[in-house]
């Protein structure tokens, strides 16, 4: 059998697997995977640098399947290339406990770089991956970092708004090692794309500053596909879009170019007919003949030699290995947190400003930090005073201007973190975490080590009014599994919050105040922040009530406790910057902080939803805010020591 015959047979096998997986699961999307089998062969078999024996090799090429519904294509390639994805894994496609879930999940399946599913996320992930590569190559040298990011995107990806944000950012940043193939198959689940889409994608991406290759009808020509992708790779001053006209479901006699090929398995008789047309056994499922398996393993074996060459260069590299290792681990150098500043009781500092002071103090100690704001750099505590801007002219800069693109910022941060080598931080107003939420959810699902700096944390925003005043955001974000949210009470707690942000393995959100807050006694260096909650004020006698507060309202609880004490009521004040960290403590510690039998009143300038987990009653805000000076809005909505004192007495009366 000639090499070309073996290549064509391999592509047919990929198409057979693309039909068999969804059919076995009675769920899935075979058509796109079938149409793109030749492209997958060109990428894995001819172009990409990877080593299945070491999936996390830092200088490997990255691949993103933004149209994650076509996951059976990626799983088939991972099987054929020797990543340890077995035929049994393919048979278990979309089943409980399998390594082949319906959409690709990083850390779950070897060879998956990012978690894609919601359309458009993968494109923005790829932008983040490419930015991380650019930064590391400039900082540590092309002998250690010199690879490409490849992505496949669908019409659905390009319709979602996040793709517009991400493509605009990528064009501005001139990310020359980013190649996106747009699978222009003219089909959506509803029918032809023309039902809802008449964009000129090539013109749009050209306007964003991309290099565009409209290659037309070459979806079945491996040589032409390779040439098109390599031509895009040769363009180093701009990201590249390869527009590929494919035919979904190829070569099915009945379902090619139909919506039926998109979202449903093929009927068994059509699978048999299509396999027979391709020269595969029509009655055999998950058919991978030995010569095809050996052929793909041989192609994949090239990566071992490439990786060995890289490891030799790494061993000979004369740079600062401690800094490189800290970057790759997303951690700080030994003793990094000793550089965190402290503040004296009585000072008044907005936590967005104290957080900025912390960030600038630890830039050298946490060398992987890279990021900035969504046009709100100075407002959200992410301005970096001692580093240049990361842009097309200076890739070593560590301050990154994302522009007014919160959605793309969040998803690009995921790509940056999952690339490795950088610890991304992104800032915006807390209310605009709503724009970021899909990416935040995926960061938690992916265990991506990212840091969000969300400022203007309450109705204390003031005059901007209810459109800009968070109410339900704290409750909504606390509901995301795996997201650690920290709302520091003062400047010193914000310093300890940075220890959480750097040392934790998943996403951490710092929720920070716009308004100045008094620095409190007992917060400096208090590691109770690391445990999520701790006793800040203890009365001389056994507490009759606990005032449990977070963030901007801890000082309110402190003053209310003093007023209660003057009335003969012993009140303990507990600062609770993080529900998630407190939940992780053992029962003994939680009972020590919140003793059984003592009524608890929570105090927080936001929705009271969920506080029944910790408190018997809650002072909060279960309505939208208003436009007025921040102090006025807070007072009118009950965030005062006087109101808390009254509510505490009412709770005590009910409890007795």
- Other beta carbons less than 10 A from residue 194's beta carbon: 9
To the query of whether residue 406 is one of the catalytic residues in this protein, the response is yes
Which helix (H) or strand (E) is 12 found in, with range? Answer: helix 3-25
Q: In 3-state terms, what secondary structure has residue 30? A: helix
Counting DSSP H helices and E strands in the chain, the numbers are 25, 17
Residues 511 and 431 sit within 8 Å (Cβ to Cβ): no
Closest of 504, 483, 509, 134 to residue 332, by C-alpha: 504
Place of tokens 């894609």: 116
Among left, alpha and beta (phi > 0; psi -120 to 50; other), residue 480 is beta
DSSP H helices, 257-301, are 260-263, 268-278, 290-300
Q: How far apart are CA 30 and CA 33, in angstroms?
A: 6
Q: How far apart are CA 414 and CA 472, in angstroms?
A: 24
Q: Which of 105, 133, 134, 406 is catalytic?
A: 406
Q: In 3-state terms, what secondary structure has residue 600? A: strand
Q: What are phi and psi of 36, to 5 degrees?
A: -100, 10
As a residue count, the chain comes to 656
Strand pairing report for 451-455 and 508-511: parallel
Q: What are phi and psi of 26, to 5 degrees?
A: 55, 35
Q: What are phi and psi of 92, to 5 degrees?
A: -95, 20
Q: Helix/strand/coil (H, E, C) string of 391-436?
A: ECCECCCCECCCCCCHHHHHHHHHHHHHHCCCEEEEEEEHHHHHHH
66-to-61, 187, 410, 569, 651 alpha-carbon distances in Å: 16, 16, 16, 59, 53
Q: How far apart are CA 477 and CA 433, in angstroms?
A: 9
- Other beta carbons less than 10 A from residue 525's beta carbon: 11
Burial environment of residue 258 by CB neighbours within 10 A (0 to 12, 13 to 18, 19 or more): middle
DSSP states of 546-574 as a string?
EEEE-GGGHHHHHHHHHHHHHTT--EEEE
Among left, alpha and beta (phi > 0; psi -120 to 50; other), residue 185 is alpha
Which helix (H) or strand (E) is 510 found in, with range? Answer: strand 508-511
**Per-residue tokens: 414:** 């995921």
Q: Which residues pair with 394 in a beta bridge?
A: 391
What positions carry a catalytic annotation?
A: 406
């Amino acid at each position: 059998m000639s090499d070309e015959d073996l290549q064509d047979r391999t592509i047919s096998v990929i198409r057979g697997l693309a039909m068999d997986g969804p059919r076995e699961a009675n769920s899935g999307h075979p058509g796109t995977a079938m149409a793109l089998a030749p492209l997958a062969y060109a990428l894995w078999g001819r172009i990409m640098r990877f080593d299945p024996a070491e999936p996390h090799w830092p200088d490997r090429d990255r691949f993103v399947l933004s149209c994650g519904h076509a996951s059976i294509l990626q799983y088939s390639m991972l099987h054929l290339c020797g990543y340890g994805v077995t035929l049994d894994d393919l048979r278990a496609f979309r089943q409980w406990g399998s390594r082949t879930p319906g959409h690709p999940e990083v850390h779950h399946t070897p060879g998956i770089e990012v978690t894609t599913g919601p359309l458009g996320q993968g494109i923005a992930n790829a932008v983040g991956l490419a930015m991380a590569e650019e930064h590391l190559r400039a900082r540590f040298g092309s002998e250690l970092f010199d690879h490409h990011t490849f992505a496949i995107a669908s019409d659905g990806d390009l319709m979602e708004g996040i793709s517009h944000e991400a493509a605009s950012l990528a064009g501005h940043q001139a990310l020359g090692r980013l190649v996106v193939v747009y699978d222009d198959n003219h089909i959506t689940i509803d029918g032809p794309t023309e039902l809802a889409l008449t964009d000129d994608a090539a013109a749009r991406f050209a306007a964003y500053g991309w290099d565009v290759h409209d290659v037309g009808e070459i979806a079945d020509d491996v040589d032409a596909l390779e040439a098109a992708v390599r031509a895009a790779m040769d363009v180093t001053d701009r990201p590249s879009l390869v527009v590929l006209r494919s035919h979904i479901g190829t070569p099915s006699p009945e379902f090619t170019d139909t919506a039926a090929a998109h979202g449903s398995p093929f009927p068994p008789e059509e699978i048999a007919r299509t396999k027979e047309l391709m020269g595969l056994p029509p009655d055999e499922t998950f058919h991978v003949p030995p010569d095809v398996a050996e052929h793909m393993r041989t192609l994949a074996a090239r990566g071992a030699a490439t990786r060995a060459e890289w490891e030799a260069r790494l061993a000979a590299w004369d740079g600062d290995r401690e800094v490189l290792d800290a970057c790759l681990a997303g951690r700080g150098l030994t003793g990094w947190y000793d550089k965190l500043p402290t503040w004296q009781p009585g000072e008044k500092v907005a936590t967005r400003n104290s957080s900025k002071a912390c960030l600038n103090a630890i830039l050298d100690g946490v060398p992987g930090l890279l990021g900035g704001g969504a046009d709100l750099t100075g407002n959200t505590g992410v301005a970096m005073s001692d580093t240049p801007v990361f842009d097309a002219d200076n890739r070593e800069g560590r301050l990154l201007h994302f522009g007014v693109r919160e959605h793309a910022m969040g998803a690009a941060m995921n790509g940056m973190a999952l690339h490795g080598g950088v610890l991304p931080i992104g800032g915006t107003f807390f209310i605009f975490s709503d724009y970021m939420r899909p990416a935040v959810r995926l960061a938690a699902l992916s265990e991506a080590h990212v840091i969000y700096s969300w400022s203007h944390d309450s109705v204390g925003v003031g005059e901007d009014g209810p459109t800009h005043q968070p109410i339900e955001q704290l409750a909504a974000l606390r509901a995301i599994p795996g997201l650690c949210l920290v709302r520091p009470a003062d400047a010193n707690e914000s310093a300890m919050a940075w220890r959480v942000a750097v040392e934790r393995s998943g996403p951490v959100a710092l929720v920070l105040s716009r308004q100045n807050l008094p620095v409190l006694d007992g917060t400096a260096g208090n590691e109770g922040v690391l445990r999520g909650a701790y006793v800040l004020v203890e009365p001389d006698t056994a507490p009759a009530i606990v005032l449990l507060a977070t963030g901007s309202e801890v000082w309110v609880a402190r003053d209310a406790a003093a007023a209660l004490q003057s009335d003969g009521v012993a009140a303990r004040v507990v600062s609770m910057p993080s529900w998630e960290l407190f939940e992780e403590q053992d029962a003994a510690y939680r009972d020590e902080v919140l003793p059984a039998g003592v009524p608890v009143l929570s105090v927080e300038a936001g929705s009271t939803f969920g506080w029944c987990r910790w408190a018997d009653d809650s002072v909060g805000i279960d309505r939208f805010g208003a436009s007025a000076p921040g102090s006025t809005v807070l007072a009118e909505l009950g965030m005062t020591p006087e109101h808390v004192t009254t509510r505490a007495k009412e709770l005590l009366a009910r409890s007795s």
